[in-house]
Structure 1
Amino acid sequence: MCGICCVVSLSVHPPDGCFLKEDILCNLRRRGPNSSQQLIKTVPQLPYHCLFSGHVLHLRGQLTPQPVEDPTSGNVFLWNGEIFSGVPVTAEENDTQIIFRQLCTCRRESDVLSVFSSIQGPWSFVFYQASEHCLWFGRDFFGRRSLLWQFNKEADKVFVLSSVSAVSGNLWQEVPASGIFRLDLKACAASEAVTLTLYPWKYPSRQNATEKAVLGDLNMASKYSPSYVSLVVNDSHTLVAPVIPLNKETLNTQEESRLFDFTNNVADVEVLQMFLAKHHKKELVHQFIDVLSRAVERRVLCLAREAEMSGAAPRKPHVAVLFSGGIDSILIAALADRHVPSEEPIDLLNVAFKVTDKGRQSSSTKKKSKEQKPSPPSQGCFDDTGIVKCGSSSSFNVPDRITGKAGLEELKTVSPSRSWNFVEINVTLEELKAMRQQHISHLVYPLGTVLDDSIGCAVWFASRGEGLITSQGDIRPYKSVAKIVLTGIGADEQLAGYSRHRACFEKHGLEGLNEELEMELGRISSRNLGRDDRVIGDHGKEARFPFLDEEVVSFLNSLPIWEKANLTLRRGIGEKLLLRLAAAELGLTASSVLPKRAMQFGSRIAKMENSSEKASDKCTRLQSLPVE
């Protein structure tokens, strides 16, 4: 994980400190606490200048400060990514150096595209190719790493790329994850206009033909660009998508009813066992488990673990899971257990927002909450030894806390020797307001809906990892030091996990559902991933997404929809059916039949401030911040 930034000035004057304000530098440093440096490139007799700023979170190989410059060619590289496959990287090597060396050998546009077509893993980058006087930049196919752009229409035309912004009057937008962009600096400086060339993703060839991938939010990008900026799509060179297209095969109505009409009046767990009794289905489930397990393995082992002396203090955790106890998070935790060294703890980060008396009265889970054991109080209830002495409170007994604790017990059953740190992260309204003002708003930006606010705040507090753990009967304060945060995003989008998918299926059938799922994955970069990367990265941690591993996505894209989900079945079974079968096969019985519950409702953040808001409304709490 890194914070990267590039400021381009199409002027005879080089960019100075006023172009990269201290608040943006501070936010970049929070993402990359291990190394920070800057570099200014000037070209004699050409009216453009580039400032590069790199801030590194060291996770693997040798620490490589950024920006990286090649003294021979003058090329400069900023890289925020991880290579998990496609390009060989040994444990001792640093992927920044490997990709930069490859780029420095590129002579043609197709050479650059070939380098990025070969990478599997999340990335965003900026590459200055000195010989061509051009700037390349972009995000991976899914947009798993944030990259924003800003065009400044003031006296000197300035173009800025950055992993994160700050609260500002100038409009930032997310760079569309539609392909790779190229900016000819020499031509732009001469014409005093900016032309961005996009090389779009294309799916791997089928019968000697290529299929264009989804282009995403290019229209939105054009809308918010100043008049002197234009976008041109170049289809003459191929940037190969790292996944195959979605299988849109459907069944006719009779086949569909025969396939699914056998589950009435059967308990949920028994329905899953009926599916698993079929040889074809069980074999498919094992294939999926193997593919997802490899994806998790890559994400928990691709980091430096220091050698620890035997007999020393207990091993510290390097891996954490955003953990609600739901089907996505518990399956990731169970698979992480396969690959994380057995003596190393795994942190399960479980966030809850304080439920007021008014909120409890309006909650449909009021009765169920009262039946549960009370959750621990906030940190103000500790004595000098750090042990809780005062009475407990049910204020944080939200649905995700309840299912999280239940999920913890299931994990202890399937893996009793593992040390599981269940971190209870309790957030009050006062702390929520303070942290939104100080940190979270600029991380959510340029997104700004009520849903973005709720999820952004919940993920920020969860990934910070400050809370309470119970150890040998004592409740103690705890702060997770794990730099890797695994999250289950991508499961719902591919396996029909949202309620809107059921509504779409009921109205338009399997064909309509296929179209909806294709759209979901096509827009995940702009709706979710940039925001979540900025929010988690703010703690000097790296978000990793096993469900969006290229091998996992290609496997799921290869299957017809009825192998992945069955929305003729009731809620709690039909959505994400393949995932539920995998959980049941791994012994996670109770979790396998939990209905989908959105994070904003499960953590109860949606009940804290204005429960009458709609998710798609503009969030006034984000808009009320002061603007420079």
Structure 2
Amino acid sequence: MCGICCTVSLCAHVDKPLYNDNKNLSRRGPNSSQQLLRSDSTHNYHCFFSGHVLHLRGDLTPQPLQDENGNVFLWNGEVFGGIEVSSIANDTYTMFQHLTSCDNEHDLLSIFSKVQGPWAFIFYQKKNHSLWFGRDFFGRRSLLWKFSDNLEEILSLTSVAESLTDIVHWQEVPASGIFRCDLHTCALIKSISLTWYPWMSASGSQLTGETRLDEEQKWILNTLPKCVTQLNIGDDRLLVPVSPLNEKVPETLSEKSCKTSSKKVGLEELKLLISEEHRKNIQSFVNVLSEAVQKRVLNLPRLHASLSPALERKANVAILFSGGIDSMILAALADRHVPPEEPIDLLNVAFMMRAPNQQKASLKKSSRKKNPNSAFTESHANSDTLPTDPFNVPDRITGRSGLEELKALNPTRIWNFVEINVNLEELKQMRQQYISQLVYPLNTVLDDSIGCAVWFASRGKGMLQSDGEMKPYTSTSKVVLTGIGADEQLGGYSRHRVRFNTLGYKGLLEELSMELGRISSRNLGRDDRVIGDHGKEARFPFLDENVVSFLNSLPISDKVDLTLPRGLGEKLLLRMTAVSLGLGNSSVLPKRAMQFGSRIAKMENCNEKASDKCNRLQLDIND
């Protein structure tokens, strides 16, 4: 994982440095930092490159990379398949070798069509004065762009914005393809001309999001300032790296009632649903998801066991852990592949609940009636006051229960359950100092809640029980696994049930199809910026290309059954998989969003809507 940056100037001479000290970038890449200037006096353009490297693979390879032909490469990604990278090699160097051997744009696009894994890149191709850049199909790595009428800094690209003073000018580069900037043409017309190479399926249908190709082109151009005078569509295309969604609905399902059953929810009920046909899909799913986890937890810099006594061994892998089904399955599969003598950090975040006199008893009683299956409700159903421990939030309760399941699954593993407690004062301080900059350009109440929760969780600074007492602990892991992508593919959100109840399976399929199309702009760039701020890399096993292709190939009935109640019907395949892995009651926990499970959504303003613009973020930006 890296922090990458490039600034383009169209002035004949550069009178001032194009690089400002970007602490947000350097925190992403603490192991190496370099800058490089490329100038072409004949064509009157200058490109300034900056790279900050988090070392995770092969030999430490400082960026930007350059060769004797004047090519320059910045890479923020991981190659997990499609292009061969040996276990001891560095993928940045491998990718650079492939790109510099390209004779034309078709060859370059073919390379990015093959790569499996998250990526964002910037590549300066000297021979044709081209600046290539873009993000992977799901947008798992952040890349922002900024355009200006000022020829000294007419185009800027970066993993994360520099400061609050100019942050409002940055926008996310759409994860709808790769872009090429013809620097020679730009220097002649004194404005930016871009060529866009969109994602296309193997059958030729366009898959760049919710709109058609020409509408997408207009949308991108309308979001850009006037200094971008052209946005052409390239003659070539990128090949979508996943199989198309199976949108067929069997006749028996289309005739099936969309009314949710009142059937009892429990582990035994879930086990009774598993048929022989289900077992085939479960085993295939376990195999493909386990391989995705394996790729993401191995080949990390590790001390040899003989050099690290058991008491001093540090965790190299951490999981954003609520005890819910997504994080439990990731933990169970990571346990298969992380060396047995190595701890695994389970990062569990809780925001301080307000005192009882700040919250009306009637609201709490109403909440209990609406959520009869929640672990929080079960633990406090007989009390009108909040628990003595103000951090005993729902995710803390289910997290502890999940820890016991994991201990039973593998009692020899060291499971570090890190209790990360956040009070209101620290939340406000860290939001103003760091988080508001990282979340932007997203700015809703939901972005604030999730951005803050993920930032504190991935920082990994909390308390750990050791020798019978709680002691301060900070996770040393550079890799953080997150379960995002499971709900989007397996019908985990409440809006999926609403859509199903209204329009049946056809409506549900349309909603699921839309989810992956917008996940880059709604979630992944933000999460990459937030987690990367700690010099750690977010990894998303549920969004592995092979996992997505497998899930896309299945008929809807094999993945979800929303005629079943909460705790069973949503993410049905995942729940059955959890049972096959030996997990217990966590298999039937209802979906609970992170902002509610961690209680951050109740900490400041309970009357906000998730889609509202967040005043706290806006105020921080304007300060």
TM-score (norm 2): 0.93
**Counterpart for residue 229 of structure 1:** 228
* 1:82 pairs with 2:108: no
Mapped to 2, the partners of 1:453 and 1:347 lie a distance apart of: 25
**Counterpart for residue 14 of structure 2:** 14
**2:610 aligned partner, one-letter code:** A
SS at match of 1:571: coil
SS at match of 1:565: coil
Q: 1:567 to 1:219 in 2, by over 3 A?
A: farther
Q: CA deviation at 1:267?
A: 4.3
**Counterpart for residue 495 of structure 2:** 500
* 1:111 pairs with 2:101: no
1:526-567 Cα deviation digits (max 9, x unpaired): 000000000000000000000000000000000111111111
Please list, as runs of the form range in 1=range in 2, the aligned pairs for 1:107-506 lying within 5 A after superposition: 107-154=103-150, 156=152, 158-165=154-161, 166-169=163-166, 170-204=168-202, 209-215=203-209, 219-234=218-233, 236-252=235-251, 257=256, 265-276=263-274, 278-309=275-306, 312=309, 313-357=311-355, 358-359=358-359, 361=361, 362-363=363-364, 364=367, 368-370=378-380, 393-506=388-501
Mapped to 1, the partners of 2:20 and 2:379 lie a distance apart of: 47
Worse overlay, 444-453 or 305-314: 305-314
SS at match of 1:567: coil
**2:207 aligned partner, one-letter code:** A
**1:55 aligned partner, one-letter code:** H
Mapped to 1, the partners of 2:423 and 2:259 lie a distance apart of: 47
Mapped to 1, the partners of 2:377 and 2:237 lie a distance apart of: 58
1:403-439 Cα deviation digits (max 9, x unpaired): 0000001111111111000000000000000000000
8 Å Cα contact 2:395-2:598 kept in structure 1: yes
1:231-262 Cα deviation digits (max 9, x unpaired): 5353521311110111100133566539x999
| Residue-pair matches, total | 600
8 Å Cα contact 2:261-2:563 kept in structure 1: no
TM-score (norm 1): 0.92
8 Å Cα contact 1:359-1:608 kept in structure 2: no
Q: CA deviation at 1:191?
A: 1.2
Mapped to 2, the partners of 1:404 and 1:200 lie a distance apart of: 42
Please list, as runs of the form range in 1=range in 2, the aligned pairs for 1:92-111 lying within 5 A after superposition: 92-111=88-107
Q: CA deviation at 1:509?
A: 1.1
1:338-390 Cα deviation digits (max 9, x unpaired): 000000000000000000112484443686454799xxxxxxxxxxxxxxxxx
Q: 1:300 to 1:360 in 2, by over 3 A?
A: farther
1:256-290 Cα deviation digits (max 9, x unpaired): 539x99976454323321222x2111111111111
Mapped to 2, the partners of 1:310 and 1:603 lie a distance apart of: 38
Q: Gaps (5+ residues) in structure 1?
A: 374-391
**2:618 aligned partner, one-letter code:** Q
**Counterpart for residue 35 of structure 1:** 32
- Identical pairs, percent: 58
1:148-174 Cα deviation digits (max 9, x unpaired): 000012354510000000313351100
SS at match of 1:153: coil
Q: 1:220 to 1:537 in 2, by over 3 A?
A: farther
**Counterpart for residue 382 of structure 1:** none
**Counterpart for residue 5 of structure 2:** 5
**2:338 aligned partner, one-letter code:** V
8 Å Cα contact 2:262-2:565 kept in structure 1: no
**2:242 aligned partner, one-letter code:** V
Q: 1:113 to 1:330 in 2, by over 3 A?
A: same
8 Å Cα contact 1:173-1:221 kept in structure 2: no
* 1:547 pairs with 2:546: no
Q: 1:187 to 1:608 in 2, by over 3 A?
A: same
* 1:61 pairs with 2:58: yes
8 Å Cα contact 1:7-1:15 kept in structure 2: no
SS at match of 1:523: helix
**Counterpart for residue 70 of structure 1:** 67
**Counterpart for residue 49 of structure 1:** 46
8 Å Cα contact 1:176-1:218 kept in structure 2: no
SS at match of 1:601: helix
8 Å Cα contact 1:251-1:510 kept in structure 2: no
SS at match of 1:489: coil
**1:335 aligned partner, one-letter code:** L
**1:289 aligned partner, one-letter code:** V
Q: 1:256 to 1:423 in 2, by over 3 A?
A: farther
**2:284 aligned partner, one-letter code:** Q
